[in-house]
Amino acid sequence: MPWIALALIGTSAYNAREARKSRMQAESQQREALAQQVSDAAKMREEVALQTKAYNEQATSLQQQADLARQQFELQSQTYKDNKLAMENKAKEVQAAADEERRKAAAAEASALRARTRGGRRSLLSGERMDAELGLGMNLGGSSGMLQ
């Protein structure tokens, strides 16, 4: 029986050594996996930081573009307002000039109408007008024209 006990002890020692070896391997693999996870996490943090930086740069660029577009819009709006005001003033000037021309034309028409309605009587009082219109000679001795 000693051989059996010795075989049992030898088998137990072998199994214990293999179990310890397996445990050591498992611990080593866990340490490597943990180290890999730490390394991966660090890489991921770096990538996130780079992406965040890139997004911040894009946001800054977009903000600058928006500010530039807003400034251009405000400038164009002001230019439009200035042009509109200038055109309104020019239209008022043109309207005033047209009104003045109409007023002058109406005054001239009224004057001509008055001359036709009232001036017809006056033209008969002057012999010079009559002679000039009729082509008749005038009597230079008198103030009023006479027919010869």
Q: DSSP string of the chain?
A: -HHHHHHHHHHHHHHHHHHHHHHHHHHHHHHHHHHHHHHHHHHHHHHHHHHHHHHHHHHHHHHHHHHHHHHHHHHHHHHHHHHHHHHHHHHHHHHHHHHHHHHHHHHHHHHHHHHHHHHHHHHHH-HHHHHHHHT----TTSSS----
Tens of pLDDT, residue by residue over 115-139, are 777 755 555 445 555 555 555 555 5
**pLDDT single digits (tens) 12-21:** 889 999 999 9
| pTM greater than 0.85 (yes/no) | no
